[in-house]
Amino acid sequence: MPDVKTWFAGRSLGEHREPPAPGRKGALPGGPLALAALALALLAGGPFLFGTYLLNVLIQAFFFSMVAVTVDLLWGYTGYLSFGQSAFFGIGAYAAALVFTHGGFSPGYVLLALGIAIAAAALVALLLGWLSFYRGASPFFATVMSLVLPIVLSQLLLSGGEWTGSSSGLTGYPMFDLSLSAWYWIAGLGLAAIVLLAWAVVRSDGARVLLAIRDNESRCAYLGIRTSRVKIVLLVAAAIVASVAGFGYASFSGVVAPELTGFVLGTQLIIWVALGGRGTLWGPVLGALLINVATSYLSGSMPFAWQLILGAAFVLVIVLLPQGLVPLLAWPFRLDRAARTPRLVERAAGAARVAAPDGPALRMAGVEKRFGSLKVLQGIDLEARAGELVGLIGPNGAGKTTLMRCMSDGAERSAGTVELCGHDIRRLAPEHGVRFGLGRKFQNANIFETLSVAECLRIAGALVERPSLLRRAPTLALPAYALEVMRATQLDRKLAVTARDLSHGEQQALELAMVLALEPRIVLLDEPTAGLTKTERTRIGAVLASLAHRHGLCCLLVEHDLEFVEEIATRIVVLHQGRIVMAGSFDEVVHSELVRTIYAGTGQPTGDAGAATQGDDR
């Protein structure tokens, strides 16, 4: 096997040649602008083209479309299937109706009603998010919680008696004295503003976080992203938009009823998004407009058959067009992903994200892990310092990966202490460990499969350089050692490639680059060469040796390839049956009769021997 410590000799960081400038592939020039111009033309000329009945239907559909866009942001972009947006729509509608009915109608009351709508929706969303997105909550649980909200709110309104109108709702309250044309333009421009704002956000670097949470929330946590906080903020913003849409709907229609807050409308919103195309922004608008217009004309003449037709259409679209209608209609206007790919640059040297520790970078004392009465780890004492690459070896089932989990997740261990750069991570989530200087590479490549290589790296560096919520940066800054990984594996030439289209070795290298983009002080590597070719192992080994010896990081490596470990490890720690049974140089370990016994399976070390060798390590 080549000496991986000298693999970079003769390779300069300046050798990299930039890939050719990307362009469009099969896209129709000006397509999106033409579609936007057509939509604006229909908005401007609608009152002159459509009759009174259709205008009424479209105005209501515009308000529903605003809410559908928020469902798309939650479901299509973040992966949170929410039935609760109808509740926030109803909160806005009832805020207007209640204030105008029981208070009065004036500019002051209008502002009061709007303020109540926004504040109530935000508070309810904050409470719902806190209950739904706690650590360990499953997506299914969050969806069920969103389902409960409209049911509870509907029951509250039904039990409100004359004050809320009960099942009859509220009607006949004072309204704005505006023409139908004015309402059409107000609702249409409001919808356009929401879509444009959402479009500006979702195409930005910051919005890649939403897609990353949808793809792999666990990986986000190990990149230091507080996913619960992100989802709560998005839910509150979506609730505010839905409440404003409900306020507008009530102000236009003059009628509110408990059905506006109910489960049925919440389900319809999801159907509209699914039919139009989730994750598209335009899809929810198209779905809401098509279904509402078709329903207004067909439900009266064929009430029962129409529901059957609508259900059949929904099933057909889900089966034949799982991405919805908009992706099918918009394919000629798609841009090549490479047209949005940033240029790699080395991150400017500055203050370190995490200060170098005075003592050990990693310290474990008395760490245990139990599953009921089964002890998986027992009495683990281990220290590792900056500049060390510690190889952690042992037979299958020795507890190596479990030990890695205890190092990175404060809630994993059953007893003992783990300190990262002097910080105790007791009961803290993985994102806190990342903020203390930890980076973890998993055994199987743990990446964001639907994002491009550049987008994965952008998310990985979000803790160091917060991405913008309104634009895309033309450059992507990475630390020098992350650039080494990219250039050693030629990933710097595949920035526009979707991560799931990479080879296994390239995915492993991408995850390593993502971890290094965090600028960690401690790097945990769980079989980073699993499934790689000999050449790929050599390249990755050179990078790992460089991390410890050139850049002064503390690295812990779990690996079964002893030849690979010999090339790069500073010292070796042997784990067997949940205990550290030996620690020392590579030669001491491989020539130990104790280690031979463990790997041969002809016996097991005695407790005294294990304790003695572990004591030598201390």
Average pLDDT rounded to a whole number, residues 62-91: 96
Tell me if 333 is assigned to some domain: no
Question: Is the pLDDT assigned to residue 311 strictly greater than 70?
Answer: yes
What is d(CA 254, CA 215) in angstroms, rounded to the nearest whole number? 42
- Which of 286-300, 334-348, 557-571, 573-587 is predicted with the least confidence, judged by mean pLDDT? 334-348
Secondary structure element (H or E) that encloses residue 572, with its range: strand 571-576
- Is residue 180 within 8 A of residue 47, CB to CB? The reply is yes
Q: Do residue 242 and residue 128 come from a single domain?
A: yes
What is d(CA 242, CA 63) in angstroms, rounded to the nearest whole number? 9
Domain boundary among 225, 243, 262: 262
Question: Is the pLDDT assigned to residue 446 strictly greater than 70?
Answer: yes
Q: Do residue 106 and residue 215 come from a single domain?
A: yes
What is d(CA 550, CA 428) in angstroms, rounded to the nearest whole number? 31
Q: Where are the alpha helices (DSSP H) in 398-495?
A: 400-408, 430-435, 453-460, 480-488
Question: Is the pLDDT assigned to residue 136 strictly greater than 90?
Answer: no
Cβ count near 383 (within 10 Å): 17
Q: How far is CA 55 from CA 46, 186, 211, 312, 542, in A?
A: 8, 12, 36, 28, 68
Q: Do residue 392 and residue 251 come from a single domain?
A: no
Which pLDDT band, with edges at 50, 70 and 90, does 262 fall under?
very high
Contacts of 254 (CB under 8 A, 6+ apart): 171, 172, 173, 175
Average pLDDT rounded to a whole number, residues 162-168: 90
CATH, residue 374? 3.40.50.300
Tell me if 436 is assigned to some domain: yes
* Single-letter residue type at 225: I
- Is residue 436 within 8 A of residue 421, CB to CB? The reply is yes
Tell me if 222 is assigned to some domain: yes
Percent of the chain surpassing pLDDT 90: 53
Question: Is the pLDDT assigned to residue 74 strictly greater than 50?
Answer: yes
What is d(CA 447, CA 504) in angstroms, rounded to the nearest whole number? 11
Average pLDDT rounded to a whole number, residues 56-78: 96
Tell me if 85 is assigned to some domain: yes
Range of the domain at 605: 362-446+519-617
pLDDT number for residue 14 = 34
Question: Is the pLDDT assigned to residue 26 strictly greater than 70?
Answer: no
pLDDT number for residue 289 = 94
Q: Do residue 71 and residue 187 come from a single domain?
A: yes
Q: Where are the alpha helices (DSSP H) in 414-528?
A: 430-435, 453-460, 480-488, 504-516
Of 566, 600, 568, 567, which Cα lies nearest the Cα of 586?
566
Q: What's the burial of 52, exposed, middle or buried (CB within 10 Å: 0-12/13-18/19+)?
A: exposed
pLDDT number for residue 47 = 86
| 416 backbone φψ class: left, alpha, beta (φ>0; ψ -120 to 50) | left
Average pLDDT rounded to a whole number, residues 290-301: 86
Tell me if 292 is assigned to some domain: no
pLDDT number for residue 351 = 56
* Single-letter residue type at 298: L
Q: Do residue 236 and residue 381 come from a single domain?
A: no
pLDDT number for residue 171 = 92
Which pLDDT band, with edges at 50, 70 and 90, does 466 fall under?
confident
Question: Is the pLDDT assigned to residue 7 strictly greater than 50?
Answer: no
pLDDT number for residue 58 = 95
Average pLDDT rounded to a whole number, residues 201-217: 92
Average pLDDT rounded to a whole number, residues 108-130: 97
Buried/exposed code over 132-168 (b: 16+ C-beta within 10 A; e: otherwise): bbeeeeeeeebbebbbbbbbebbeebeeeeeebbeee
Tell me if 569 is assigned to some domain: yes
pLDDT number for residue 152 = 95
Tell me if 384 is assigned to some domain: yes
Of 232, 236, 233, 234, which Cα lies nearest the Cα of 121?
236
- Is residue 451 within 8 A of residue 498, CB to CB? The reply is yes
Q: Output the average pLDDT for the chain.
A: 85
- At 486-539, the pLDDT tens digits run 988 889 999 999 999 998 888 988 999 999 999 999 999 998 877 677 777 887
Looking at 137-198, which runs of residues are DSSP E strands? 170-171
Cβ count near 241 (within 10 Å): 24
Q: Do residue 249 and residue 368 come from a single domain?
A: no
Domain boundary among 234, 262, 290: 262
Tell me if 330 is assigned to some domain: no
Greater model confidence, 560 or 476: 476
Q: Do residue 437 and residue 585 come from a single domain?
A: yes
- At 169-200, the pLDDT tens digits run 999 899 898 999 999 999 999 999 999 999 98
Domain boundary among 262, 285, 318: 262
Question: Is the pLDDT assigned to residue 22 strictly greater than 80?
Answer: no
Tell me how many domains the chain contains. 2
Secondary structure element (H or E) that encloses residue 250, with its range: helix 227-253
- At 320-372, the pLDDT tens digits run 888 888 877 765 545 444 457 888 888 876 556 677 777 899 999 999 999 88
